[in-house]
Structures are given as C-alpha cells and as structure tokens.
Structure 1
Amino acid sequence: MADDMAPAPLTRTSVVKTSNGPVRGYVEGVLQVFKGLRYGAPPTGEHRFKPPQPPAPWTETAEATSYGAPAIQSGMAPGERGSSAGDPPAPDEPGSSEDCLFINVWTPGLDQAKRPVMVWLHGGGFANGSGGAAMYDGGALARKGDVVTVTVNHRLNVFGYLHLGDAFGPDYAQSGIAGMLDIVQVLEWVRDNIETFGGDPSNVTIFGESGGGWKVSLLLAMPGAKGLFHKAIIQSGPGLRGATKADAAKIAQSYLDVLGVKDAAGVAALDTETLSRASVKVGDRMRGFTPVVDGAALPRDPFVPDAPAISADVPVLIGTNKDESTLFMIGDPKFGELTEEDLAKRSKAAAGDKAQALVAELRMVHPDYSPTYLTSAVQTATGMWLGSITIAERKAAQGAAPAYVYMLTWETPVSRGRLKCPHALEIPLVFDNVEKARNFVGRGDEPQTVADQMSSAWLAFAHTGDPNAEGLPAWAPYDTTTRATMLFNVESRVENDLNAGVRKVLQG
C-alpha cells in the first residue's frame, strides 16, 4: 500500500545552461518548472550585511526541483517560518536560512518565444515572507497568459537592512539596502538568462503586494535597476519613502548595544540565531529594519516630493483592497465590538486633526459600517489608499508612462464574512490560484469569477503595459481630472474620483 501511495517520479526537463552553471527542473503538465535556482553566493561570513555576490560557478548540473530556503524571519531562529492567511508556506518549502538567495521559474517552454516575464516580490513588510508561499505558485499565470513567472527570496529584516555604514565604515555603506540589492541581482539574472527559459528580457514586469509593493516602489527609484524592468505593479503597498541614514544609524547603534559588540569582527563572529533574536529588542518588529536612502543605491525617496525621473517611462498599475486593515485588526479581542469612543480614539491616532471629518465622510461611503469597520476604513484610507493615490498622481504628473488605479471591493465569505475585503485577498485572484486558497477566498464560483478578471488584467498589463482585457469595462489611465478607478468585483466597474470626499479631507 505504501508503494501505491508514493508520488510519481518527476519528469525532468532538458538541461538549461545559465550564466552560473547548468540546471534542470521538472515538467508540470504543459509547464517546465525550476525551483530553488541559486542567483547569489551565500550572504554569510565575510559577505554578511554586504551587497550580494555572484555564486561560485558550477559545471555539474544543479537539480532545481524544490524550493530554496527562505530568508531568516524577523526574530526567529534558522529553520523557523511563520505563517498567515495571506502567506502560508508551500508544503515543500524548507526551513529558513541566511543562505537564501534563490528564485523559482515557471515557463511554458524552453524555446525562443520571448514571452513577457513577471517577477513577483513577496509581502511580509521587510521582515518576513518568501517567494515559496503557496498562493505565489506561478504556474496558473504562466499557463493562462503565456508568460514566464519568477518568484524571489532575498534577505530580510536585520540581515538585509541593518545600516552599519556609520558605525563600521565604507565596507558596510550599503548594508542598509542589501536586501534590495539582492532583488537587483535577480533582475540582472533575468536579463542574462531568461531568454533561455523562453522569456523576453526586454519585457519584464515587477509586481508585489504589501512589503512587495513597497519593494516595487523602491526599485522605481534605484539607478541600478533602471532598464532591468519595464512595467511595475504595486498592490496594497505604496512606498513613498525610505528610511533616513540618521534614523537607521541610531537603530543600528541600539542594536549593537544590545549585542554588546563594537566592531565588524564582533558581529561577524555571532551566530545567526543570536543576531535574529536580538533584532526584535530594537524598535518595531516589522519596521525596525527597512531600506535606507543611502545616497547611492537609493539616492532619493521613491515618491517624495515627486515621481522619480529614472522610471518615468515605466507604466504603473497600483491599487488597494476595500478593507485592508481588517486582516490586522481581527486578532484584537474587541474586533467587532468597538464603540464610537474607540472609533474616535483610534481615528485620532491615524488621522490626527482630520479624524472627525474623515469619519463623517467614511460614514457616507459605508453607511452600514459599524465602529469596528469604520475604524478599519480610517486606517485603510490614511495608509495604503492615500499612499496609492499619491503615487498615481505623481506618476500622472510626469506626463510620460501611464498609471492605472484599481480597488478590489469583492468580500470574502470566510470567517463568517468578518474580514470583508482584507489585505492580501487579491493575491490568489491575481495569481489565478483560487483552488490553492479556498481557506481565504471561500467556496463557490464568485472567487473564480473575480480571479478571471484580475488575472486577465495583470496579464494584459504584462504583455502591453495596458490592463484593459476582455470582460472588463474600459479602463482609462489615472489623471487628476477624471481619476478613473477600476473596482474589481463579480461585476467590475469603473468609477471616477472614487471616494472624492475622503480624498479631499486627507489631502486638505
């Protein structure tokens, strides 16, 4: 019986020669899949906290049939991996490691078809996550849209964004943005190798959600990434700013004080778990270590005071979900039972002097929302929604490549509908991975109906830079006159100047 239950042996692909060495993946239906492709040397030992290096070249064929290790997660030991509804690990994903510079590729063919390439940057802030989450499986997009999909692991938290330049000198000048430099190295790998995997290095779309959207925002302002991608999608993660060197230097010094070390050799001598556990004793667990505006790799804030000139020619698709903050609030014991007093207090914390006017506008937009959901609406509007509108406005002001704006409004029935339309809900819809995410999107036909529309729009954008797709109403680029926004639902529609009163309060 045990032999009967054993998985069928994998059918292997032909050997593919890459710039680092030969690799071989496996066949999955009509696709050829390569998991755990190494794109960088292990960022350990003397390479810890420094820009990524190419891997040592190899001559024996490397087997690319299983995911590579994800990065060390914030505050966790090697091997440990957290999980959330929006980011559950795939069943075959290994434990975390500092040796984490791996990518995964799904392609319809190892030929010269020059398909559009879609490179996914995972969420989890800059603290957690991996490209091996179950909902990030790139197979459905590759099959449906005849594209090559790529998912990425890169350094996170203290290992990717500890700014040691002030403390330890020029050898560590880019330690505060090392994790983003990992992604640049991925895009260089794509430039040098993706044609062999059936992709077009001159038609690359980067897309990401939450922290992944912030990473996309940063890449739009990084000179080292210029020309390595040609379209950008920012999902529920507008990144207007990076961390300042001054603030990052203070955090780094506090961290060194916690460790009790004074020089680079002292840090290099410490084990991975010690470095990780100490990091959460300094600042905010999710935001304590984030990319630094170092003046070189990242010379300016991504979208303050305006959109970066170096990516003016890159079309952008950007948007949010209607009720982003419910995913973060649902663990609150008072979720669903907040009072008007709670609403007033939490709105003041989010919106300051604008809180009362903002709540009044949101009551008109959502007349059926309780204080709990109005609180979520305030936090959603002041955070991801306003930031996304700001990026779209500043992109449109350049008068070069277009920006398209969307909002997902469909509500998931899971958890008795309590989440409404939360953060991360669009991920399995965009990836057309409804069956891999039924615990998040629920049963029935509605999730697939929305997924058909969203995945088609994303694929159209990857092919042409325009998300208009069959089955959707006409969708115009965003400008400050019409402010067109696509509202994705079972029946999608376009609305001009969505939630205008809310916007005017926040921008007033």
Structure 2
Amino acid sequence: MNRIGRRDFLSRLSLATAALSIPNYARSSSIKPDEFAEVETSHGRIRGIRKGGLSIFRGIPYAGRISGDRRFRRPAPLEPWKGVRDAIQLGAPSIQPPNQTRGENEPRPAEDCLFLNIWTPGNDNKKRPVMFYNHGGGFATGSGGAVDQDGSNLARSFDVVVVETNHRLGIMGYLYLDEIAGSDYTGSGNMGMLDIVAGLAWVNKNIAAFGGDPNNVMIWGESGGGAKTSCLYAMPEAAPYFNKASIESGPGVRMIPREVASEMTAIVLQELNISPKDWRKLLEVPVADLLSIQQKMPQLLATRNGGRVGFVPGSFSPVVDGIALPHHPFDPSAPEISRNKPLMTGWNEDEFTFFAMAFRDTDALKLTTDFEALQTKMQTQFGADTKRIIDTYRQTRPKATAADVWIAVTSINMMGLGTLQIAERKVQQGGAPVYLYNFGYKSEAKVPGTDYAFGTPHAMDITFKFNNEVPGGQPGFLSGGRPERSDVSHTMAEMWATFARTGKPGAKNAPEWPAYNLTDRPLMRIDSKCEVLKNRFHDELAMWKSIGKL
C-alpha cells in the first residue's frame, strides 16, 4: 500500500466498509422459501431453501473446531452428523472488531467460524462452473455472508454455482508460532489461508452434489479478498482445487517475511507478559485481549521496519514461511505452480475516493485550481518526486482539477501499480493468459461531507460483479442511482461468469477482450460502453517506473 494511511489504514477501512448500507436486493434470508432443498454431503445430509429457481445453503460446516487446543492450529476433523442438518442461517464470522460484518441476521463473531454458503440453480448433477469468492476487509474483517456479495443473482442469471467461506482473520489466523511452538503449529502464520484451502478441498469433494463441476473452479476476490486470491495462486496446498483466478482491487504482490512475523509475535508475547517458553498460555488468553493487541499492532510497529510490510501494513496477514506460502505471491515473478492457470486482474479508476472517506481525509476533494496546496499535501507521501508526479498528471489530464489529480495519483499508486506488476509478471512467465481491466462506470453519489462524486470507488465493483445492481433498485451508497448501472452490472457479471466457464472473459455487449501483452498492453475498460484500450497510462507509467514505483 506504499505509505498511504499506514498507521490507521486497517481500522478506518473496516469502519468505512461496515458503514455500507444493506441494499434491498439482498434481503433474501427473510423471504419464505417455496420449498426446501436437501443434499447429501461427505459428513451428513443438509437442508437449504429453494426459492425462485435457486437453492441456497447457508452455514455449512466445512472443517472442525479451531477453538481451545486447536487455536492457531489446523482444524480438528469435522464430525459427521445424523439426520438432516439445517443450512438456512449464516454461520458465525471470524473473531474481529465489532460491527464489521454485513450479513443479514448474522451471528456474532466466534472462534469456531469455519462455515460456507452456496448459491446454486439446482442440485441436479449438472456440471456448472464454480465461482469461489474470497471476501474483502483486508485480512482482519468481513465474512462470506455480506449482503452486497449475495450470490443469488449471479448464480441464477448465469447458471453458475457461487461459494463463499468464513475463515480465520487477523491475529487468530496469522499469528506466527512456527519457531516457538513445534510441529503441530507448522503453518500457523497462514492458518486463515489454510482455512480457505480446507474450504476448497470440501468443495472439490462435495460440489458435484450441488450441481457444480469440481474440475472447473474459479477463485476470485476483491480488496483483501484479492490479496487472499493472490496467496492461493501461490500456495501448493491450494493448487489441486482451482483452475483459474481473478484478483480485483487487491494486488497481493508481497506478504510478510518470517522475520517481521517473528517480531510481531514477540510484541504480542511482550504485551501479554508471556515468555516464549510459556507460549501455551496464548491458548487461554481471552479473544478480546488478543483483538486489542491486534488493533494496536500498526502503532506498535510504526517505528520499526515491520510497519512497512504487508498488504495492510502492520496487520496480521499471510507469512512467507517457506512452507504453506513458499514465496511472495508475485515477487520476483508469478508463481510457477499456477503457470497454466488463466488470470484476470484489475482495479477501479477512482479507488481513493472510498479511502478519502475512510481516512476522513476529504479536504483535497475541495481543491480546484490550487495545485500548490496539492503539492504541499502530497509532499509527505511522495517527497522530492511530488512536483514531477503532479506535472505528469496535469499534462496527461489538462482538464483535471487538483482534486482529480489527487484521486488519480493515489488510486493508481494504491491499487493500480501492484496490479500492473501482477499482469506483467504473469505475461513474462509465458504460461496461461492474463486479462487486465479498469472498472470505470461513474457513480454520481457524493463522498459524504463534500460535493465530489465517488466516481468509481474502491468496493463499488462488488455489487456490479455479483449482478446485484438490479433494474429499478434503490440508489446504492457507492453506486448511485443512474438507471444504466443495472446494464453495466449485468455485463460485468457476465464477463466474470464467462471467465469462470471458459477461462476467457467476455460478454455479449462488449468487444472481444484480448489477453494482456507487453507490446500494446491492452485492457478492457468497463463502463456503459466497454472498450479495449491499448497502452493506457503510457506517460504516467513511464514516470512511475522512473521513480522506482513500478
């Protein structure tokens, strides 16, 4: 993330994400079903609901206990059950700060959180593509039950099976104990990711009974979910269980090195007054105390080298431990283990309007012609390069206001440059293709407290990809109320579903989407009218490369 909002990025991102309103389209759990749907799984029979041509199963356990002596370890074996188990209500999300999940009628967070949700047109033995989604929220918040990523419309409209998991987050999922706790805790710094792998393994074994094809699975995710997808793309244990991937507004190029993870563990022990030899006491610490340390970690690391590492700097997140995650996902190269797996990746054009709201940093949105004030504001982040950056963007955007330049610079710096590194390194690998996009549909909704429109902010793509911007729906908090947004949503969802089905994205109302290459660098710009752009941001990228940012 470079140096943007380093000390409080995580808490403010979570606050803003939780503030998103619950859209009317997703209020499906309160709808009475026409009937129930039953499926036999590897551990017992479950019952979901059948409504409007769709079967929905919520709160399916995919692995066993992770509390007690299983804290920070692999889950206990999942115990089979007798009779029919209801899969109608969401399962508990992972431990996290309060008020961060967005599921309707969702239970309180709990240690034992390994549940998944499935949306399918039918448990009819039809081999549909499986779209396995990783939720956002950095690596610290969120759940697979959030209403904006409800899978109903995506599954129904495009005949796919949608799966979403809950998995360990934050300190519960990424506290690195390998060096002090013995072989039972090997991979402890990646337990949150290994939970997702367990979910993928469950899907591989069971999804055929839900009308899905276990040999055609796409992993995808936005923001922190994009970074999770980056990690899965590089993890040996995940490799047998998916065939393609999409990394969206969350380029997980590098994760936490072992030495930084060790430092974070030492800080945790110090804060709890536990010596390394007494590490087992961690198994008895109340989760509220662990969560309190998690919240303070960015500040505790702020003056140390560790504070500059990771997808969300200073947070508990995947560790490059040489085993579960053998190397950084996309540094120095794309992972060889996924050479032959097609990839999509991209970002939203105005990502930073969301973060301006999240960071309560909206003063620059009021700037019009005062580029001197803009230079002063950007100086802390970009130092001696500030003037050159601003001059480049003014040359390529002669009609842009100072606020427009700020949003363009911070958006590509936060999400775009890492995304381009991923695309370039995937091309350099010479294996399966990579497809690059920019999401550019403009929302007229204003950033709270300003007259500046969100444009295409971070997280707005979620409802569009899930085909949840429905015709006649009420205006969204981020997406606004322009009627054409439903057509854009349908096209975008079709692109993703087509990629899940065939390994190449496409839609009826869009031009053919060429694979990315290092000659004319084509990308798909997704808007009311989609278009393929070549060598987009040529001058800006040349500048970013010259100052060592790309």
Under a length normalisation based on structure 2, what TM-score does the superposition of the two structures give?
A: 0.86
Task: Provide the residue aligned with 1:392 in structure 2.
Answer: 423
Match of 1:503 among 524, 536, 541: 541
Equivalent of 2:192 in 168, 179, 183: 179
One-letter identity of the residue aligned with 1:15 = E
Residues 450-502 of structure 1: CA distance to partner in whole angstroms, max 9, x if unpaired? 11221111111011011122110122100000100111111111110111111
Q: Which residue of 2 aligns with 1:443?
A: 481
SS at match of 1:27: strand
User: Does 2:482 correspond to 1:425?
Assistant: no
Q: Judging changes above 3 Å, is the alpha-carbon distance between structure 1 residues 284 and 224 closer, same or farther for their aligned structure 2 residues?
A: farther
Give how far 1:136 is off: 0.7
1:194-213 to 2 correspondence within 5 Å?
194-213=207-226
Q: How does 1:94-493 map to 2 (within 5 A)?
A: 94-262=107-275, 263-283=278-298, 286-287=312-313, 288-330=315-357, 331-332=360-361, 334-338=363-367, 340-415=371-446, 418-435=453-470, 438-493=476-531
| Corresponding letter in the other structure for 1:429 | F
Superposition pairs of residues 44-55 of structure 1, within 5 angstroms: 44-55=67-78
> Distance in 2 between the 1:315 and 1:349 partners?
39
Amino acid at match of 2:268: Y
Query: Cα deviations across residues 370-399 of structure 1 (Å, max 9, x unaligned)?
Result: 333322222222221011111111111122
Shift in alpha-carbon separation, 1:373–1:167, aligned structure 2, 3 A: farther
Distance 1:168 1:372 in 2: 51
* Aligned: 1:17 with 2:40: yes
RMSD: 1.9
Shift of 1:303: 0.6
Deviations 1:430-454 (A, max 9, x none): 1010147723212231211211221
Give the whole-Å Cα distance in 2 for the aligned partners of 1:474 and 1:397. 23
Distance in 2, Cα, partners of 1:10 & 1:386: 46
**Offset, 1:418:** 2.3
Deviation at 1:351, TM superposition (A): 4.1
CA–CA separation in structure 2 for the residues paired with 1:320 and 1:7: 34
Per the alignment, residue 33 of structure 1 pairs with 56
Supply the distance in 2 between the matched residues of 1:93 and 1:368 (Cα, whole angstroms).
46
Following the alignment from structure 1 to structure 2, what is the Cα–Cα distance between the partners of residues 445 and 277? 44
Indicate if the aligned counterparts of 1:354 and 1:505 stay in contact, CA closer than 8 A.
Answer: no
Residues 305-327 of structure 1: per-residue CA shift (max 9 Å, x gap) = 11111001110111000011111
Structure 2 residue identity aligned to 1:45: G
Question: Match for 1:372: what amino acid?
Answer: A
User: Secondary structure in 1 aligned to 2:106?
Assistant: coil
> For structure 1, which segment, 256-265 or 395-404, has the greater mean C-alpha deviation from structure 2 after superposition?
256-265
1:214 aligned counterpart, secondary structure:
helix
Query: Match for 1:152: what amino acid?
Result: T
**1-structure distance, mates of 2:153, 2:37:** 22
Are the equivalent residues in 2 in contact too, given 1:105–1:149 (CA < 8 A)?
yes
> Quick one: distance in 1 between partners of 2:170 and 2:151?
25
Change in CA separation of 1:340 and 1:140 when aligned onto 2, cut-off 3 Å: same
Which amino acid in 1 is paired with 2:52? G
Query: Aligned equivalents of 2:75 and 2:543: distance in 1?
Result: 44
SS at match of 1:432: coil
* C-alpha distance 228-342 of structure 1, shift in aligned 2 (>3 A): farther
* Residues 396-424 of structure 1: per-residue CA shift (max 9 Å, x gap): 11221100000011111112552221101
CA pair 181-451 structure 1, distance change in 2 beyond 3 A: same
TM-superposed CA distance for 1:38, in Å, is 0.7
What is the CA–CA distance in structure 2 between the aligned matches of 1:283 and 1:7, rounded to whole Å? 39
Secondary structure at 2:90 match in 1: coil
Q: 2:240 aligns to what SS in structure 1?
A: coil
Look up the match of 2:99: 81
Indicate the larger mover: 15-24 or 103-112.
15-24
> One-letter code of the match for 1:155?
R
Hey, what's the Cα distance between the residues in 2 that align with 1:460 and 1:496? 22
Moved more, 159-168 or 132-141: 159-168
Stretches of structure 1 that go unaligned for 5 or more consecutive residues are 1-5, 84-88
The answer to whether the Cα contact below 8 Å between 2:522 and 2:534 also exists between their aligned partners in 1 is: yes
Q: Which stretch has the larger CA shift, 413-422 or 273-282?
A: 413-422
After superposing the two structures, state which structure 1 stretch, 6-15 or 94-103, moved more: 6-15
1:12 Cα deviation from its structure 2 partner: 4.1
Contact residue 350 and residue 379 of structure 1 kept, 8 A = no
Q: Which residue number in structure 1 is paired with residue 89 of structure 2?
A: 66
Aligned residue for 1:343, secondary structure, equals helix
Distance 2:408 2:381 in 1: 11
Structure 2: runs of 5+ lacking an equivalent: 1-28, 301-311
- For 1:404 and 1:381, locate their aligned partners in 2 and report how far apart those are by CA, in whole Å: 18
Match for 2:64: what amino acid? A
Contact kept in structure 2, 1:177 and 1:291, CA below 8 Å: yes
Q: Which moved more, 1:457-466 or 1:442-451?
A: 442-451
Give the AA of the match of 2:285.
Answer: L
Q: Is the 8 A contact 1:167 1:253 kept in 2?
A: no
The Cα of 1:90 is off from its aligned counterpart by: 2.7
* Displacement of 1:362: 1.9
Q: Give the Cα–Cα distance (whole angstroms) in 2 for the partners of residues 357 and 40 of structure 1.
A: 53
- Whole-Å Cα distance in 2 between the matches of residues 68 and 23 of structure 1? 14
Answering whether residue 532 of structure 2 is matched by residue 494 of structure 1, we say yes
SS at match of 1:336: helix
Matched residue of 1:434: which SS? coil
TM superposition shift of 1:349: 4.3
In structure 2, C-alpha distance between the alignment counterparts of 1:7 and 1:148, rounded to whole Å: 21
**Displacement, 1:363?**
2.0
* Residues 306 and 333 of structure 1, relative CA distance in 2, 3 Å threshold: closer
User: Corresponding residue for 1:86?
Assistant: none
| Residues 92-147 of structure 1: per-residue CA shift (max 9 Å, x gap) | 22221111111100001111111000011011100111111111100111011100
C-alpha separation in 1, matches of 2:143 and 2:281: 29
Q: 2 CA distance for matches of 1:352 and 1:225?
A: 41
Instruction: Answer whether contact 2:65 2:77 (CA < 8 A) is retained.
Output: no
Amino acid at match of 1:421: T
Tell me how far apart the structure 2 counterparts of residues 99 and 475 of structure 1 sit (CA, whole Å): 42
* 8 Å CA contact retained: 2:132, 2:217: yes
Structure 2 vs 1, CA of residues 129 and 345 (structure 1 numbering), >3 Å: closer, same or farther?
farther
The answer as to whether partners of 2:133 and 2:165 remain within 8 angstroms in 1 is yes
Report what 1:3 is aligned to. Answer: none
Aligned residues: 493
TM-score, structure 1 length as denominator? 0.93
Deviation at 1:264, TM superposition (A): 2.8
SS of the aligned residue for 1:414 comes to strand
